[in-house]
Structures are given as C-alpha cells and as structure tokens.
Amino acid sequence: MRITSKELARICGVSIGTIDRALNNRGEINAETREKVLRIARDLGYRPHLVARSLKTGRTMTVGVVVFDLDNRFFAQLVNAAEHAARESRYFVYLTHSNHDLEQERDCLEHLAGLDVDGILLVPTNRGPDFVKLIRGLHAPVVTVGNRLGAGVPFVGIQDRQAMKNAVQLVFRTGYERIVYVSPPLSYKGRENIYEVEERLEGVREAAREIGIPLVVLRDKSFPDVLEDAVRRTGARTALMCSSDIYALQCLELVRAWGMQVPRDVGLIGFDDIDLLKYVRPALTTISYPIRQIATEAFALLKRLMEGQAEPPEAPLIETRIVERESL
Amino acid sequence: MRITSKELARICGVSIGTIDRALNNRGEINAETREKVLRIARDLGYRPHLVARSLKTGRTMTVGVVVFDLDNRFFAQLVNAAEHAARESRYFVYLTHSNHDLEQERDCLEHLAGLDVDGILLVPTNRGPDFVKLIRGLHAPVVTVGNRLGAGVPFVGIQDRQAMKNAVQLVFRTGYERIVYVSPPLSYKGRENIYEVEERLEGVREAAREIGIPLVVLRDKSFPDVLEDAVRRTGARTALMCSSDIYALQCLELVRAWGMQVPRDVGLIGFDDIDLLKYVRPALTTISYPIRQIATEAFALLKRLMEGQAEPPEAPLIETRIVERESL
DNA sequence: GTGAAAGCGCTAACAC
DNA sequence: GTGTTAGCGCTTTCAC
C-alpha cells in the first residue's frame, strides 16, 4: 500500500502538521526535524496523494483537452503543443476525444467538469446557444480553438478569410485565369461546426469577386467524380485551391491519373502545411497554419483565465503566410 | 459554485444518504423520492464530484499514458487507440509525455502515481533495474509497449526479429544480391532503451547470415553522407532496408537526388507502414506495425491487471506482415 | 425506506 | 516550533 502523511507522522514520531510543514516547507520548522522527515519520506518513497490534496485545495492543476479526432496529424500536434505548454506551467493534461460525435463531446466536457479540471481546451464540433449554455455551466474556464462558437466564448484562431484572399491574389498574380476551389465538408455525426471551412470559402469568394477571376466551387464529398470536368471545362489556365492539404494531395493524385502535370497543366495550392508535405513531389504550395502558436496562445489564455484574470475573450486572429513551393 | 450532494439534500428536503441512493440507484428507495431527487438534480445541473468519489473509493477510473514523443505520428495513433479502448471500459486517460527525457519520464510516472491512476500504459525510454524498481514502487499496474524492459514487466509487442528475417528472405527471393540496412539510433537525452531497434537489426543480421547475402549496416545518424557510397560500391543489385518508414522516405529522396530510380536501380523497404505512405510514389513496400492492435491488447492486459487478475506478464508477440507495394 | 455519522488523505487555521 | 482539529464531497455502514 501507499504510505500516507499520517503514517509518515507516526513513523517520524511527529504530528501530521509537522509533516506538512516539512514537505511543503511552509512556516517555521526546526531544521533538524525537517531534514529527518524529508529523509524518511524519501526512503519510504512517500508520494503526496494528489487526489486528496485537490479535494482540499479545490485546485487540481489539471486541464482537460477535448478534440474530435486524434488520428488526424493536426490534432496530434495541437495536443502535443498544449501538453508542452501545460507542463511548463506545472499543469497536467486530461485528454479526451469526441470522435466526431456531438453527444460524446458533451459527455467529455461534463466528465472533465466532474473531474474538477481547472480549465478546458476545446476544439468544438457542437455549436449553438444550448452548447454555449452547457459550457458556461461547467464552472471552469474554456478556451476554444479551430471552430469559433461566438457568444463570448474565448477563442484563439487564425485569419482564415484573409489567408484565402491572399492566396487568391497570388494565384491571380501568378497568371492563372480561373479557380476551382475544393472544399468538401468535414463530416460529423449530426450537426456540425464548420466555422473555418466557411470562413475560407468566404475568403475565396470575396477575393475572386473583387479581382473578377472566374470561380468554380466544389463543396461535395464526391468532388473526385467531377473534378476533371471542372478543370478541363475551358482552355483557360486553371488553379486548383483546396481547403486543406489532405484534399490537395488527393487532387494531386487525380491530376496525375489524368496524365496532367502540376504545375505545368494545372496549379495547386493547399492549406495547413502539414508536415508530411516534405515527402511530396512536386512540393506543394500551401498556407501555413501555425498550430504550435495556436496551442501555445490558447493555453496562455486559458492559464490567465484559470488564474482569475479578466480577459477579452477573443485575441486578434493570428496571421498566416503562404509557403510558396513548386505547385503553383 | 458547483452544487454538492449535501446541498442537493437540503434542497430536496432529504438526507444526503437518500441522495446517494437515488443518484446511484442502490438499495431500496421510494420510487417517488428517487424521481424527485433525480429531477431536481437534473434541473440544478448536479454533477458528482469525481475527485471526492475517488478519494473515498480508492479508484479513479483513470489510466495514465506515458509516451516520449507525441509529434510522432506513431504515438499519436497509439494514444488514440488507447484512448478509445479506455473509453469503452469507462476509463479516462491522463496523457503525459516525456519528450525523450529520461528524468521527465520518471517524473511522469511518479506524478501519475500521485494522481492515483488505476493503471499506466508506458512506452519506456529508460531501462535497467533501478527503473524497474521505480515502476514496482508505483503501486499501480504498468503495461509497457514498444520497448521491452524484461524483468517481468508486462509487455505487449510485435515479432520484430522475425519480421525482419521475413523481409530479408523476401529481398533475397526477389533477386537482390546485397543489402544495405539503415538503422540510425533514436536519440534520447541520456541513455536509451532501443529494444526494437536492436531486435530488428539482429533479425536482419541473422537472416543475412543464414542466407549468405552480403550485408552493410549503417547505424549512424549521418547515414545520408555515406549512403551513396554504400549503395554504389558494387555493381550488385542492392536492396535498401530501413528500420522505419521515415528513414525509408529519406532514402527515397536521396536515391532520387542521385538520379537513380526505385525499384529499377535500387530496392527499398521500410518498417511501420505509417499512414502517410499512401501519398508517396513509388508506393513503398514495408512491414506493417499493427499499432491499433498493440494499443488495444495493451489496454486489455492493463485492464485485467487493474481488476486484480493474475496474468503472465508477456503475451505472445504479435505477428507482422509484409505489405508488398512497388519499391522492392 | 431513510437518516446519521465515520472516514478517505490532505491542508490550514488555531492553540499551546 | 509543534500538535490538534475541522472539513473538502463523497460512499458506506449502522441505526431506527
């Protein structure tokens, strides 16, 4: 069995209060006594019972993280960076994962609240007033990432819309005469929060309109079936823009299958700059998503919230940059 | 503030004992009373305080996971699968990550023990008797994955050695006349546990000796500097074998840079079958690492251990299979 | 069928 | 400088 402070007190021949003073060096205590307690504690492998401490102090020094997909490289990086930031501030991480399921996401949040986490980092798939109400009822600060809930729920994100506008301009400047934008839905069970997908689409639309470059939007999951037709429809020089790198890679395969080459026959640009791009040829031009920075800033915000600081819920959106490689 | 069972009792006008009977439907209780309590609890958003429950019951329904690298796709999948398995058994996951640091790994384990987790899933980097002693002192069952500690520490893994022997045989049968095996060290700060790296190397060596096929082993981190020489040294048809897919992808790039083609000029085979291979051309032949299965079996074993079952610490190693694609 | 009370291991306030 | 004690929110045993 594990050794408790009470037992340690008995063995050291002092009171439990003295044990506490020695272990957490608080208050006045005889140096000799402290040394003795510390030594015996070490020898016996005493380890404070953090659950009991939490019950007493009301702080768990723990943050919960809720993502909807860990298999996705993207979230893995997010969790990684968050874990890193948390550790630096001596917080531990409860990882939960909602598996694209709206109900499971609510469960995760409720459970984390039950575990009395000091704060929660959430990549939401739910949205709407009921969900916001649930979040407020958690009695723990929540910071969202990726999908914005609005309604004053703290959020850290990037300038999706502006990023796409910049990309469209680059496409135009590079000499392309039309754009096919591939933006399939991220599929969840049930209703979805597709804030980023919508923002990016809006950015493309706005910029295309302003510039006056023709735009075809493919929003369906079955875009591979219609892509070739969309690309070859005219003789005009076409750029394929994708709402994420994963789709861009799919497009790359398809284009190759038709016997066309990137960028000679068609231009291609992705979004996210996922790390596996370094193994892809031709090297994909893309928009970088500063996931590390997002995670770090999100945790920093969460930390300030956990420490009771008043904060504006939404910090300025983070700028992105285009990573120009070979595909455009 | 959150609402407690005591307060709920006051509001419902019953005793705290009755509250418990209603909430956890135990023992005999008047149906009406129960309904009333349940209704009020729901209306008030009562949520059991899991920390307090744990303190009382001595079980946290939580498992700790310790990996040394989350940025690595591989561990992300492991964590993901483990989280999945854990959730199915109503366990929650504490994720910690040792960042390749031996000391940090020990910290993680100690902290998890302090958090009173019911069990721990560990991908160890430390090894040796002191580390095994530390693990035994945790007072929680530990299952290791990836690197074997021996000394009776429960372990779930694959037949690394046999997998490599099979691969060497395939290489030979396919008509290659010599092998260059690339197996750089996984770098940790300090001493490392490289059980799998060693097993794979040993498998290659044994099989090459048995078959009588010439073998060059490149164990250094700087293998890119000497690879070309090692490959071109003779006119014999050469197969490049790598201890992991990541190195195989690096080799692929290098081979291309010399103006050679895979598999026409040189054969290539990796290990792990990481998912990003689906975007790589030529498609890489590799050995699949059943990470999902490993995670699932590891958690299943951990669960039996947590439930107090006596178990042989090491289950039979899991078989692998070669995924034949285009590179060999 | 319900209430009262002890106690999990720790921290912190108070007494000596 | 040290000891004693209450109490965090829950579960569980024992009365009634």
Contact B87, B118 (CB under 8 A): no
In angstroms, how far is C10 C1' from B1 CA? Answer: 22
| CB < 8 Å from B in window 171-200 of A | none
Contact A94 B92 (CB under 8 A): yes
Inter-chain residue contact A115 with B71, CB threshold 8 Å: no
| Of residues A50, A110, A249, nearest to B114 (C-beta) | A50
Q: What are the structure tokens assigned to B199, written together?
A: 């097993």
H or E element that contains B95: strand B92-97
Indicate if the pLDDT at residue B170 is higher than 90.
yes
What pLDDT score was predicted for residue B62?
A: 93
Distance CA A128, CA A141 (A): 18
Helix A102-114 crosses helix A129-136 at what angle (to 10 degrees)? 10
Backbone torsions φ then ψ of B189, nearest 5 degrees: -80, 115
Sequential DSSP letters for A87-107? HHTT-EEEEEE-TTBHHHHHH
Q: How many CA atoms lie within 13 A of A233 on its CB side?
A: 14
β-strand partners of B138: none
Residue A285 structure tokens? 């031009």
B114·A48 Cβ contact <8 A: yes
Contact yes or no for A95 and B80 at CB 8 A: no
- Averaged pLDDT of chain B: 91
- Per-residue pLDDT at B189: 44
Identify the weakest region by mean pLDDT among A208-212, A240-244, B244-248. B244-248
Q: What pLDDT digit, counting tens, does each position of B59-103 carry?
A: 999 999 999 887 777 788 888 899 999 999 999 998 888 888 888
**In this predicted structure, what is the pLDDT of residue A190?**
47
Q: Calculate the angstrom distance between C1' of C13 and CA of A55.
A: 17
CA dist B176 → A120, B76, B256, B325 (Å) = 55, 35, 19, 16
Which residues of chain B make contact with A52, given a CB cutoff of 8 A?
55
Residues 6+ apart with CB under 8 A from B85: B295, B296, B299, B300
The closest nt to B17, taking CA to C1', is: C3
Beta bridge partners of B181: B217, B241
Contact status of A76 with chain B (Cβ, < 8 Å): yes
Choose among B107, A87, A106, A82: nearest CA to A95: A82
Phi-psi category of residue B309: left, alpha or beta, with phi > 0 → left and psi -120 to 50 → alpha:
beta
Nearest chain B residue to A109 by CA: give it: B47
pLDDT of residue A187: 60
Threshold 0.85, pTM exceeds: yes
pLDDT at A192 over 70: no
The answer to whether the CB of B124 falls within 8 A of the CB of B144 is yes
Burial of residue B109, with CB atoms counted within 10 A of its CB: 0-12 exposed, 13-18 middle, 19 or more buried: buried
Instruction: Say if strands A92-97 and B92-97 run parallel, antiparallel, or are unpaired.
Output: antiparallel
Distance from residue A40's CA to nucleotide D4's C1', rounded to whole Å = 23
- Strand C: which positions are within 7 A of a protein CB? 1-5, 7-14
The predicted pLDDT at position A80 comes to: 87
Taking CB atoms and an 8 Å limit, are A96 and B99 in contact across chains? no
- Structure tokens that stand for A281 in this block: 């040829």
**Which tokens belong to B264?**
């026409």
When mean pLDDT is compared over A3-7, A26-30, B163-167, the highest value belongs to B163-167
Nearest to B5 by CA among A114, A111, A108, A119: A114
Cβ-proximal residues to B310 (8 Å cutoff; 6+ apart), any chain: none
Q: Is A293 helix (H, G, I), strand (E, B) or coil?
A: helix
Residues with CB under 7 A from strand D: A 13-18, 21, 27-30, 33, 52, 55-56, 58; B 2, 4-6, 16-17, 19-21, 23-24, 26, 48-49, 52-53, 55-57
Instruction: Give A213→chain B minimum CA distance, Å.
Output: 31
CA distance A210 to chain B (A): 35
Pick the range with the lowest mean pLDDT from A5-9, A180-184, A196-200, B1-5. Answer: B1-5
User: Could you tell me which residue, B10 or A190, shows the higher pLDDT?
Assistant: B10
What's the angle, vertex CA B24, arms to CA B21 and CA B27, rounded to 5? 45
Nearest alpha carbon to residue A125 among A155, A99, A151: A99
* Polymer length in residues for chain B: 328
Nearest nucleotide by C1' position to the B53 CA atom = D10
Could you tell me if A11 and A40 are in contact, meaning their C-beta atoms sit under 8 angstroms apart? Answer: yes
pLDDT band of B192, cuts 50, 70, 90:
low
CB proximity under 8 Å: B 112-151 to A: 113-116, 137, 139
| Structure confidence at residue B95 (pLDDT) | 87
State the average pLDDT over residues B193-219.
94
Nucleotide nearest to A116 (CA to C1'): D9
How many CA atoms within 13 Å lie on the side-chain side of A90? Answer: 3
Smallest Cβ distance to B51: which of A60, A80, A93?
Answer: A60
Tokens of B53: 């429950």
Cβ–Cβ < 8 Å for A305, A119: yes
Cα B127 from Cα B144, distance rounded (Å) = 11
Residues by Cβ under 7 A, strand C: A 2, 4-6, 16-17, 20, 23-24, 26, 48-49, 52-53, 55-57; B 14-18, 21, 27-30, 33, 52, 55-56, 58
Condensed to tens digits (0 to 9), the pLDDT of residues A89-121 reads: 999 998 888 888 888 899 999 999 999 999 999
Cα–Cα dist A244/B131, whole Å:
44
Confidence of residue B190 (pLDDT cuts 50, 70, 90): very low
Q: How far is A212 from chain B (nearest CA, A)?
A: 34
Whether residue A323 has pLDDT greater than 80: yes
Token representation of residue B225: 């500097």
The pLDDT, as a whole number, for residue A189 is: 44
Mean pLDDT of B210-225: 96
Which nucleotides on chain D have any atom < 7 A from a protein Cβ?
1-5, 7-14
CA distances, B199 to each of B145, B146, B161 (Å): 14, 11, 5
> CA A141 → CA A79, B50, B234, distances in Å?
18, 18, 65
Selecting from B70, B87, B249 the residue whose C-beta is nearest the C-beta of A80 gives B70
Q: Determine which of B17-21, B42-46, B313-317 has the lowest per-residue pLDDT on average.
A: B313-317
- Distance, angstroms, CA B10 to C1' D2? 39
A120 contacts in chain B (CB < 8 Å): none
Q: pLDDT tens digits for A274-301?
A: 877 887 889 999 999 999 999 999 999 9
**How far apart, in whole angstroms, are the C-alpha atoms of residue B127 and residue B124?**
7
Averaged over B246-253, what is the pLDDT? 92
CB of A96 less than 8 A from some CB of B:
yes
Q: Please say if the pLDDT value at position B25 is more than 90.
A: no
Cα dist. A298→A61, A161, A295 in Å?
Answer: 17, 20, 5
Q: Is some CB atom of chain B closer than 8 A to the CB atom of A83? A: yes
Check if B94 contacts A (Cβ < 8 Å). Answer: yes
Answer yes or no: do B113 and A1 touch at CB < 8 A.
Answer: no
Distance C11 C1' – B144 CA (angstroms):
35
| Alpha carbon of B106: minimum distance to chain A alpha carbons (Å) | 13
Q: Are A177 and A237 in contact (CB under 8 A)?
A: yes
Question: What per-residue confidence (pLDDT) applies to B246?
Answer: 87
What confidence score (pLDDT) does residue B28 get? 79
Q: Which of A113, A169, A120, A170 is nearest to A144 (CA)?
A: A120
Minimum CA–C1' distance nucleotide for A8: C9
Closest nt to residue B49, judged CA to C1' = D9
CB-CB: which of B2, B80, B252 is closest to A70?
Answer: B80
Among the partner-chain residues B80, B139, B252, the one whose CB lies closest to the CB of A71 is B80
Q: Which of A184-188, B43-47, B119-123, B194-198 has the lowest mean pLDDT?
A: A184-188
Alpha-carbon distance of A106 to A114, in angstroms, equals: 12
Q: Is the pLDDT of residue B323 over 90?
A: yes
CB neighbours of B57 closer than 8 A, spacing ≥ 6?
A: none
Q: Which of B47, B71, B113 sits opposite A47 (nearest CB)?
A: B113
Question: What pLDDT digit, counting tens, does each position of B129-152 carry?
Answer: 999 999 999 999 999 998 899 889
Work out the pLDDT band at B187, boundaries 50, 70, 90. low
How many CA within 13 A on the CB side of residue B141? 24
**Interior angle at CA A167, CA A161 and CA A173, nearest 5:** 140
- Report the alpha-carbon distance of residue A181 to residue A184 in Å, rounded: 10
Nearest C-alpha in A relative to B1? A139
pLDDT > 80? residue B209: yes
